[in-house]
Structure 1
């Protein structure tokens, strides 16, 4: 499943190619892609302007305005809407990519992808937006915004914690909550109500950088060690962003269909029996929550009081 860096790469593409454009048509080609939407997605989107592209953790959303120029400043061209800071929309097009979802921009006359689920055309006649999803675990829906937090988010993801790249993320608050969880550190990192956007790959990579075994009890971590871990999470995600994210196959691509190449820089994930890039010890693979965890036996020794 795409993690924060991969989703942020997509968000940046949407910001460049889609934000500020008005939907002329919406076509749903597979009902599972809109299974969580209440009502007719095409009717809800037609004539609406996609104001920007936002993200929290692994979720994307496009705030909606009523149409071209709906929030335009007096005297500005209707085809160039300008939105004032703090002028939050009432609802948004929320997207979750699931395991194989892709949001692609394409020429309306270009060949249709095999697993195309939803397509949006725009009034300017330019590139259209396509939602392609081979496994149909992802979805799109129009959802109301929750105005309660300092940074409004769509209501269906109001329970998701800020991610470590957001200004809203509070390091001190996270440290307290982490120690109170009394669980293994990797399990805590994957808890999206505690910290969002971290998945299996970047958890393993950050733990390796912080020299922590995935089963280390959270209550044993000192504040300096938690700060070191957060720094490692941000560092590895920042490096992944610079390289377009991690792509193990053709499912993880940006809006232009291009794959990232951070997988070439991974230190432990997927490198079972290969030498640790720090000490040369063969990387080990251990079972974890029906998945796998990769670590270095020497750099990340398993604690005696390990938690599953």
Structure 2
């Protein structure tokens, strides 16, 4: 599933190619792509302007305006890419993708926006914006915590809450109510940088160690952003259909039995929440009081 860097790469593409444009028409080609939208998405979008492209964690949204100089948007087009969703900016004359689910055409007859999703776990939804926070977010994701690259993220609050959670540190990193945008790949990479095993109990972490871990999370995500994200196959691409190449820089994830880039010890793979965790046995020893 795309994580924060991959979704941010898509957001930047939408900001460049889609923001400020007015919808001429929308077409839903698969009902599952709008299964969580209670309204008629084509009717709601027609004539609306996509004001900007925003992101929190793994969610994207585009506030909807009614024209130049209108009031602050009250709703937004919310997108979650799921396992395989792609938002592509495509020439209207280009052939349809095999798994095209939603097509949005614009009044300027320029490139159209297509939602392609092979596994159909992602979705689009027009949702009201919650005006209460300093930065309005769609109501369906108000429970999602700020991500570590947002100004709204509070390091001290995170440290307090994560120590109270009494769980393994990787489970805490994947808890989107504590910190959003971190998934399996970047959790493993950040834990390796901070020399922490994924099962280290959160209550045993000092505030300086949590600060070190947050710095590692931010560093690995910033580096991934600079390389267009991580792509292991054709399911993740940016809005132009191009793949990122941060997978070449991964230190542990997916590198079972390969040498640790720090000490040379073969990387281990362990079962974790029906997934896998990768770590270095020497740099990240299993704690005696591990919380799997």
TM-score of the pair, normalised by structure 1 = 0.94
> What SS does structure 2 have at the residue aligned with 1:9?
helix
Aligned positions of 1:187-266 closer than 5 A: 187-266=171-250
Cross-structure match for 1:83:
none
> What SS does structure 2 have at the residue aligned with 1:8?
helix
- Structure 1 unaligned regions, length at least 5: 72-86
Cross-structure match for 1:108:
92
Q: Displacement of 1:164 after TM fit? A: 0.1
Is 2:44 the counterpart of 1:40? no
Is 2:261 the counterpart of 1:293? no
Aligned positions of 1:1-308 closer than 5 A: 1-67=1-67, 69-71=68-70, 88-308=72-292
> What SS does structure 1 have at the residue aligned with 2:12?
helix
Cα distance in 1 for residues equivalent to 2:41 and 2:235: 25
Cα distance in 2 for residues equivalent to 1:66 and 1:200: 39
Ranges of 4+ aligned residues in structure 1 off by more than 3 Å: none
Q: Displacement of 1:114 after TM fit? A: 0.4
**Is the alpha carbon distance of 1:252 and 1:47 closer, same or farther for their aligned partners in structure 2, counting shifts above 3 Å?**
same
Task: Write the deviation string for residues 183-224 of structure 1: whole angstroms up to 9, x where unpaired.
Answer: 000000000000000000000000000000000000000000
Q: Displacement of 1:88 after TM fit? A: 3.4
Q: Displacement of 1:148 after TM fit? A: 1.5
Cα distance in 2 for residues equivalent to 1:200 and 1:33: 25
Cross-structure match for 1:84:
none
Task: Write the deviation string for residues 6-38 of structure 1: whole angstroms up to 9, x where unpaired.
Answer: 000000000000000000000000000000001
Cα distance in 1 for residues equivalent to 2:136 and 2:110: 30
Task: Write the deviation string for residues 153-175 of structure 1: whole angstroms up to 9, x where unpaired.
Answer: 00000000000000000000000
> What SS does structure 2 have at the residue aligned with 1:224?
helix
TM-score of the pair, normalised by structure 2 = 0.99
Aligned residues: 292
Cα distance in 1 for residues equivalent to 2:136 and 2:289: 40
Cα distance in 2 for residues equivalent to 1:8 and 1:221: 29
Task: Write the deviation string for residues 252-284 of structure 1: whole angstroms up to 9, x where unpaired.
Answer: 100000000000000000000000000000000
Cα distance in 2 for residues equivalent to 1:106 and 1:198: 29
